[in-house]
Structure 1
């Protein structure tokens, strides 16, 4: 009987350790490095954050869910394009990264090399879809 209690105690501790590892908060699960350069709302459902890292030259974007949609499985998509810096009216795509699917908390992160380039992002939560102008050229 004592061995059974010891085994049960060990299994309980192992299960608790697994749950604490798996249940990391969404913010901890997918971070972008660098400085926040854009914070764009998606109605009342969420926001798109775009970061730039001067040490790597990378831009990173993550679409975050908020409000009543936070924790609810819903369609989300984020795409980040790096465009040629020669035009702010036409995005000649040099690099792209995207993430889409049914998520509870966020889509992304997605990363493109942005030094000396312009950016354009498209993003969607449920039926609200947006596209940025071509911006952050440099």
Structure 2
């Protein structure tokens, strides 16, 4: 075998291994894909007309991020998480890609998650009880 054929086979083998690794990571039976913003597993997605809020939980900590429906120009966005009996942790401003993440320790208490993008908003009520 010449060196060109060896390189092609090595490249093909590397590509197959990379694809197999991605499929194993993203398969439905495995743990959910990690967020670049929040650690833990995704427990809720709260959609609304102008965006959505993704909620993650890990070891008593709750994390939330608001995403706009359409990326591009900077928009007024906010996200907040409040444990029952506590004060909300909030992030708001004019952002192009996301508001947050905001994280707080809720333990076993219920939490309320709110998010907004422009004129649209969502409030979860008390969840994760």
- Shared fold by TM > 0.5? yes
Question: Structure 1's 95 and 113: CA in aligned 2 closer, same or farther, altered over 3 A?
Answer: farther
TM-score, with structure 2 as normaliser: 0.68
Residue of structure 1 in register with 2:58 after alignment: 53
Query: Does 2:97 match 1:129?
Result: no
Residue 107 of structure 1 corresponds to which residue in structure 2? 99
What is the correspondence of 1:1-138 to structure 2 with a 5 Å cutoff? 31-43=37-49, 45-54=50-59, 57-66=60-69, 69-83=70-84, 92=85, 94-137=86-129
Query: Partners in 2 of 1:135 and 1:116 — Cα distance?
Result: 11
Aligned length: 95
Alpha carbon RMSD of aligned pairs, Å? 1.6
- 1:45-75 Cα distance to aligned partner (Å, 9 max, x none): 3210000012xx2100000123xx3122110
Cα distance, 1:126 vs. partner? 0.3
After the TM superposition, which parts of structure 1 deviate over 2 Å for at least 4 consecutive aligned residues?
Answer: none
